[in-house]
Amino acid sequence: MTLIKNHIFCTEDLCAYYGDFMAIKHVTVKIPEKKVTAVMGPSGCGKTTFIRCLNRLHELTPGAKITGKIYLRDQDILKMDPIVVRRKVGMVFQRPNPFPTMTIYENVLAGYKLLGIRLPKKEANRIVEDALKKAALWDEVKDVLHRRGTFLSGGQQQRLCIARALAVKPEVLLMDEPTSALDPKATLQIENLIVELKRTVTIIIVTHNMPQAGRISDYTAFFYLGELIEFGPTAEVFTNPKDPRTEEYLTGKFS
């Protein structure tokens, strides 16, 4: 296995529960910085639960619990205030979810506005433009910034959500099947965007789509029934899997 020099996340014996059900079993992994890591595996294997541990959204589910350690750089996030963790670890969801009561402009600034932070107009404009440019949405919406975000197409809404997450300058961006609700063209735009974004931010993306993982990810983590059974550079995992279960999944024996 290739040596990872810089890692941003490091979990030690991470277990996650829903009540008595153990959804994530003893996961120990290091996630490399400023790379795209794909989290793959069959349905119900704990992919989404895993990334929801990383921004502590998992614990919002009633009866949910996390044990073990999750280090963000050298801080154990399970001992931090979840609000601070979530400012550093942003998230994009499966279905686009812009705030329906806000304009495009307000949606991008939601991370500030909802906290009650008042930005000087110049700075606010700069943050909005910057985030929308990073999310490759600026050219399409720069003239309609004060319309509701929900008027945009699904793909545009998803990029708006990416801009909203980027606006608070997170170190990590978690993406939970961000293209599964989108058409092929919008999917391609988001994939290109992800490759572009890894220069500034670490991306951890849950995906069901193997070709997509092959196209955009540098590393792949393969989960099976809550266990992490394989982790490594995507090219290696895809061409030469060590675990027979990974190979079976990749060749379509189960899904």
Partner 1 sequence: MKNSYPARENWRRLKNKIILGIITLLALIPTLPLFLILFQLLHKGLSSLSIDFFLHLPAPPGEPGGGIANAICGTLIIVGLATLIGVPISIMAGIYLSEYGKESKLAHAVRISADVLQGVPSIVIGIVAYAWVVRPMGHFSALSGSVALALMMIPVVVRTTEEVLKLVPDILREASLALGIPYWRTVLKVVLPTGMVGVTTGILIAIARIAGETAPLLFTAFGNQFMTLNPIEPMNALPLVIFNYATSPYEDWWQQAWGASIVLVFMVLALNILSRILARRIAGEK
Alpha-carbon distances, residue 101 vs 127, 146, 148, 242 (angstroms): 20, 12, 7, 49
Report how far residue 193's alpha carbon sits from residue 155's, in angstroms, rounded to the nearest whole number: 12
Closest approach, Cβ 97 to partner 1, in A, equals 4
Part of the chain binding partner 1 (CB under 8 A), chosen from 8-16, 65-73, 86-94, 189-197: 86-94
What is the DSSP pairing of strand 21-32 with strand 64-72? unpaired
Q: How many residues bind partner 1 (CB under 8 A)?
A: 27
Alpha-carbon distances, residue 132 vs 82, 128, 162, 193 (angstroms): 26, 6, 9, 11
Single residue of 18, 99, 140, 227 touching partner 1 by CB under 8 A: 99
Report how far residue 152's alpha carbon sits from residue 230's, in angstroms, rounded to the nearest whole number: 39
Identify which of residues 50 and 224 has a Cβ nearer to partner 1 in the complex. 50
Identify which of residues 97 and 153 has a Cβ nearer to partner 1 in the complex. 97
Closest approach, Cβ 93 to partner 1, in A, equals 6
Single residue of 66, 77, 91, 163 touching partner 1 by CB under 8 A: 91
Alpha helices in the chain (DSSP H): 47-54, 82-88, 104-108, 110-113, 121-134, 138-141, 154-167, 184-197, 210-216, 234-239, 244-250
On whether the CB atoms of residues 179 and 93 are closer than 8 A, the answer is no
Part of the chain binding partner 1 (CB under 8 A), chosen from 31-39, 95-103, 210-218, 238-246: 95-103
Single residue of 10, 70, 132, 168 touching partner 1 by CB under 8 A: 168
User: Is position 87 an interface residue for partner 1 (rule: CB under 8 A)?
Assistant: yes
Single residue of 11, 48, 55, 189 touching partner 1 by CB under 8 A: 55
User: Is position 79 an interface residue for partner 1 (rule: CB under 8 A)?
Assistant: no
User: Is position 169 an interface residue for partner 1 (rule: CB under 8 A)?
Assistant: no
User: Is position 53 an interface residue for partner 1 (rule: CB under 8 A)?
Assistant: no
Report how far residue 239's alpha carbon sits from residue 234's, in angstroms, rounded to the nearest whole number: 8
Closest approach, Cβ 114 to partner 1, in A, equals 4
Report how far residue 8's alpha carbon sits from residue 201's, in angstroms, rounded to the nearest whole number: 10
Locate 75 and state its tokens: 């801080």
Single residue of 3, 5, 43, 60 touching partner 1 by CB under 8 A: 60
Q: Which of residues 102-161 bind partner 1 (CB under 8 A)?
A: 110-111, 113-116, 161
Identify which of residues 87 and 242 has a Cβ nearer to partner 1 in the complex. 87
Q: What does the CA dihedral 239, 243, 246, 247 come to, rounded to 10 degrees?
A: 50
Helix (H, G, I), strand (E, B) or coil at 74: coil
Where on the chain is the footprint of partner 1 (CB under 8 A)?
Answer: 55, 57, 60, 83-87, 90-91, 93, 95, 97-101, 110-111, 113-116, 161, 164-165, 168
